[in-house]
């Protein structure tokens, strides 16, 4: 259950980041003189309060890219999945790090070895 809740929280945080990015993109396009569509206005209104609070605190948002890495290897059965030994965690961190180093954000894919 903790794993499921953790995944839900991560997905919600990433969705919030996407909303803020969309709102910032609308602001940039309007500042260049482009006309905002109804969808653009919806995207901006969704996060306008958050953006305004950050501006008041002199901590404006910046557009952020959040690449999502997923291990392609099997994490094992339920007992393997719940294996929190130092050796197992170190191996998973190492695999994740190596995949992240080969990530190509332009194609959103892992570069083959």
The closest alpha carbon to 39, from 23, 28, 17, belongs to 23
pLDDT digits (tens, 9 = 90+) for 10-38: 889 888 888 888 888 888 888 898 888 88
pTM of the prediction? 0.57
Top-confidence residue, 61 or 91: 91
Q: pLDDT at position 86, please? A: 92
What residue spans define the domains of the chain? Answer: 2-56, 78-110
Alpha-carbon distance values, 32 to 28, 29, 51, 87 (Å):
6, 5, 19, 53
């Amino acid at each position: 259950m903790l794993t499921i809740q953790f995944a839900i929280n991560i997905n919600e945080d990433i969705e919030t980041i996407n909303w803020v990015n969309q709102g910032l993109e609308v602001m940039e396009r309007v500042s260049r003189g482009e006309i905002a569509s109804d969808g653009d206005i919806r995207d901006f209104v969704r996060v306008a309060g958050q953006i305004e609070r950050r501006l008041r605190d002199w901590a404006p948002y910046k557009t952020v890219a959040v690449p999502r890495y997923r291990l392609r290897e099997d994490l094992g059965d339920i007992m393997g999945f719940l294996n929190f030994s130092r050796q197992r965690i170190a191996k998973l961190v190492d695999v994740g790090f190596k995949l992240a180093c080969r990530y190509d954000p332009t194609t959103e894919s892992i570069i083959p070895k």
